[in-house]
Structures are given as structure tokens and as C-alpha cells.
Amino acid sequence: MLLFPPAACPRLIVKIGSALLVDPDGGVRRAWLEGIAADIAARVAAGQQVAVVSSGAIALGARRLGLPKGGRASLEDAQAAAAAGQIALAGVWAEVLGAVGLTAAQMLVTLGDLEERRRYLNAAATLNRLLQLGVVPVINENDSVATEEIRFGDNDRLAARIAQAAGAAGVVLLSDIDGLYDRNPALPGAVHIPRVERIDGAIEGMADRGSASGMGSGGMVSKIAAARIANAAGAGLAIASGRIDRPLSTAARHTLFVAAQSAPARKAWLAGGLTAKGAIHVDAGAARALVDGRSLLAAGATRIDGRFVRGDLVTIEGPDGILARGLSEYDSDDAMRLLGRRSDDHAAILGYAPRSALVHRNHMALL
């Protein structure tokens, strides 16, 4: 069965890993890529809008610049390799898509472009217009300026965030593995998991942190994190093998992470955030209240971590782990002064009229 057929999935995001696009010597696997272009053309002809999240810039640039360790020996090498490789990567995509009658457009994004709300909406508007015009956006992280502190770090989570911004119903992560296994697939007795209805601790425990090729930056941990982001936005996500020809038109083995009912756009954006400025820890009673749809009150908060200001994204953590993400109604210093105190006491503590909650339910997304 075809993954995310056009009739059921008007918009599709396809992520392609470095090991699929670039051979071990640093050259483009052009014949394979031409097959992907043909698959995309068939889907577009059937009425599906497709965007591609493409790795490969660092690997391509490292070869052109003669850099060791695939361009990943240092941050400076990776940035230089990305700068040289991205222009080559964009050119290859323009050629192979142009050969099947499609126009490619390049979008380079940073973490801040999708984490800061206004910039996120601008990126979403650009992406939406390109897809409406029948263009195939080719998206990558702008590794030439990204640092360890301000980057996605892998294109799996980037693809999930792009799906959220585009309102896509499906994401396909083409990889060097055909899905999730109950343990490292190299181990005897490893069992393939074809379908995941809910991501819980047991599923996360199956993740193998390695990248089989050594060329990319994402392993199964990043793919499960991507599935969580995509599912929160109402998009299904499939991990499928790209080690075959024409993988987007072949019923290959895969793992499908099934999306639940999608959250409103703002809450989906909050749920997918990666760069929380701090954390508010809560007791068991407050945790139950959040699950019941209540706002976070100071009386149930037990500890503040990090430094943040009003409007910053924070995580809310209960006795069993992270419960939610939301926008803080207070600076961290004032929030700390209110810990465990009843609402009636807040005005006297702060010296000004308090807000109703530390994090209001309208600015919070449960995870």
C-alpha cells in the first residue's frame, strides 16, 4: 500500500537523509535521486503537494573542500562545508525536478525561524504559497550559520516542524533503516514494529541512538521525537527505507506513527517547541489539574529552573516527567516568589495586581 496516498494526504513532507543522497565518497547518488524526482512528479500529477527536507549539504561540501571526517571535525568545518555544499545540493535538486517538469525552490531555515512565533508564521506563509503554486520546496537547516546552541541538530525534527507549518497530513522519513525495532536491529531476535498508536516510555525505550551510516546526525531517538511533534500537529509519520529504488511509489516495509486528533495550530506549535527557556515543576495535584484542562496555579508549583521572562516558552514537569509546554505569565524571579502560595496572597507578595495563573490553559499544550 502506498504511503500517504494523495487522496488521503493533500500535503506531504518527505525527508531524505544524507546517507541516501550522498555516497561514501561524497558524490551525489544521482540515479536514485532521479527516481525520487519521478515519484514526486507522479504524486504531484495526482494532486498531492510535496515538500522535501533534504540533508546532504555538509557531506557534499566536505568533498568539495577536502575536509576530513565528512566536514564534521569542528563546528567551523561543518559551517564551511554547509556553505559550499548547499549551493551544489540546491542545483542538483533543481536539475532532477526540472527534468520531470517541476520547479524547485530553496528554503533555508534556522531553529529561531520555527521557534519564534512571528518568524514561524512568516515561514509558514512562504511555504504555503510555494505549495499553492505547484512548486516543490527543498528545505534544509541553514548549517552555515547554525551553532550547537541554536540548531535543530537533525532534519527529522525539522521535517516534523515543517509539516506542522505547512498543515501537512503526512511525513515520510526516508532513512537507512525500514522502521522501528524493539531493540537494535543488528541484535538477534529484533522484531520490526509496523504501527505505533501511541508514543510512550516503552516505545522510546526501543530507540537506538546510533546513525548506521555515520554520515547523518539523527538516529531513532530523533525520529521518535519527530513523530511526537508531527502527531501533535495531526500528521502521521512513517519511517521507511530509502535503500530501494523509487521508495515513494513502492509498498516498502515501514513503521507508521498514527496521529491522534490534531490540536489547534497555536497549541501544536507550542507542543513542538524545542527551546524552552526554563521549567516549572509541579506537585501531583497540579499535574492532575493540568490533565483535566486547568491552568497552572502557583499553589501547585514546587520549583523553578532556568531564567525566563513573561511570554517565554517553558516546560511544566510533574512527578513523572514533562507534562506540557506553555508560555509563562511571569518572569522567573516573580514566579519563584509565588511558589506554593495561594492566589489570594499574590498581590501582597508582588506589590502589583497579579495574573490569574503561572501558565494559562489557553497558552499551554499537554504532551
Establish whether 113 is an annotated binding residue: no
The pLDDT score that the predictor gives to residue 153 is 62
Establish whether 144 is an annotated binding residue: no
CATH number at residue 53: 3.40.1160.10
pLDDT-derived band at 276, boundaries 50, 70, 90: confident
Tell me, what amino acid is at 196? Answer: V
What's the chain's length in residues?
367
φ, ψ (nearest 5 deg) of residue 172: -115, 120
pLDDT of 93-111, one tens digit each? Answer: 999 999 999 999 999 998 8
Residue 252 included in any domain: yes
CATH number at residue 353: 2.30.130.10
Establish whether 215 is an annotated binding residue: no
Establish whether 18 is an annotated binding residue: no
Are 54 and 79 found together in one domain? yes
Establish whether 220 is an annotated binding residue: yes
How much of the chain exceeds pLDDT 70, in percent? 92
Residue 253 has pLDDT above 90, yes or no: no
pLDDT of 187-199, one tens digit each? Answer: 899 999 999 998 8
Output the furthest CA–CA distance in the chain (Å, rounded): 71
Are 253 and 272 found together in one domain? no
Establish whether 305 is an annotated binding residue: no
Structural domain that includes position 205? 6-263
Establish whether 55 is an annotated binding residue: yes
Residue 208 has pLDDT above 70, yes or no: no
pLDDT of 43-76, one tens digit each? Answer: 999 999 999 999 899 889 998 999 998 888 888 8
Domain boundary pick from 229, 246, 263: 263
Q: Which of 55, 37, 72, 79 is nearest to 139 (CA)?
A: 55
Q: How big is the CA angle at 142 (ends 140 and 144), to the nearest 5 degrees? A: 135
Query: Judging by beta carbons within 10 Å of its beta carbon (0-12, 13-18, 19+), is residue 42 exposed, middle or buried?
Result: middle
Are 308 and 356 found together in one domain? yes
Establish whether 223 is an annotated binding residue: yes
Question: What DSSP string runs through 222-251?
Answer: HHHHHHHHHHHTT-EEEEEE-SSSSTTSS-
Contacts of 180 (CB under 8 A, 6+ apart): 192, 193, 196, 203, 206, 207, 220, 223, 224, 239, 255
Residue 309 has pLDDT above 70, yes or no: yes
Establish whether 74 is an annotated binding residue: no
The pLDDT score that the predictor gives to residue 121 is 80
Are 215 and 348 found together in one domain? no
